[in-house]
Each structure stands twice: as C-alpha cells, then as structure tokens.
Amino acid sequence: RKEVEQDPGPFNVPEGATVAFNCTYSNSASQSFFWYRQDCRKEPKLLMSVYSSGNEDGRFTAQLNRASQYISLLIRDSKLSDSATYLCVVSTSGTYKYIFGTGTRLKVLA
C-alpha cells in the first residue's frame, strides 16, 4: 500500500462548481499535512497547510481526519485558473520527510 494515496482523476468540472479531493495516508505517526498545486511542466507550490481543526483560505477549505487518516480539499466556485494537479503531502513526525501522493488532476471547463 502506498504511503499517500489520491484519486488521480481527471476531474472535469464546469466553472462555478464545487469540487472535493480526498487523500489517505497510511502512517499514523504523520504529523504535518499540506496541499500543493502543480501546473503543467512547473514545479509544485504550496497551496495551503492543513491544520487539525481545519482551515479555509478564500475559496479553498482543507480538513484533516486523523481517526480515518485522510485529508480533503474543497474548492468552491471553481475558476478556469484552478485547472492544475493537486498534490497531497504528508510529513512524518521527527523526520521532516515530505511524501507526495500521485496528485489529482483538475480541469475547469468554460
């Protein structure tokens, strides 16, 4: 079983739609969680960290469920510019090791 798993998609959604991605992780000692965004042929960039209580940044909401070992990302009112691959990242306690999921491709359609 992979350490971090994501549905690869692609998710094709119309502009204005709400879309949600899930990510599961296998190591219960995981401590820090992130969502990165990667545009085509570009490097990954941090979208948002995921806090235990959940957090929101504009149209983006991240949630963490430690009991079930998954994190989620919700995008509301999708824009064309949201089209990208969204990578789930998990860091294990004490090692500062960042493990990436496969990524979920999102395409927002006009």
Partner 1 sequence: EAGVAQSPRYKIIEKRQSVAFWCNPISGHATLYWYQQILGQGPKLLIQFQNNGVVDDSQLPKDRFSAERLKGVDSTLKIQPAKLEDSAVYLCASSAGTGGPNTEAFFGQGTRLTVV
Residues that bind partner 1 (CB under 8 A): 4, 6, 8, 31-34, 42-46, 49-51, 87, 89, 91, 93-103
Residue 22: both structure tokens together: 């899930």
DSSP class of 77? S
Q: Which two tokens stand for residue 65?
A: 């469920």
C-beta of 77: minimal distance to partner 1 in Å?
25
Is the CB of 45 or the CB of 79 nearer to partner 1?
Answer: 45
Q: How far is the CB of 18 from partner 1 (least distance, A)?
A: 24
Task: Kindly state the smallest distance separating residue 103's Cβ from partner 1, in Å.
Answer: 5
Residue with smaller CB distance to partner 1, 50 or 84: 50
d(CA 87, CA 101) in angstroms, rounded, equals 6
Q: Is 95 exposed, middle or buried (0-12, 13-18, 19+ CB in 10 A)?
A: exposed
Give me 34's structure tokens: 């992130």
Closer to partner 1 by CB, 26 or 51: give it: 51
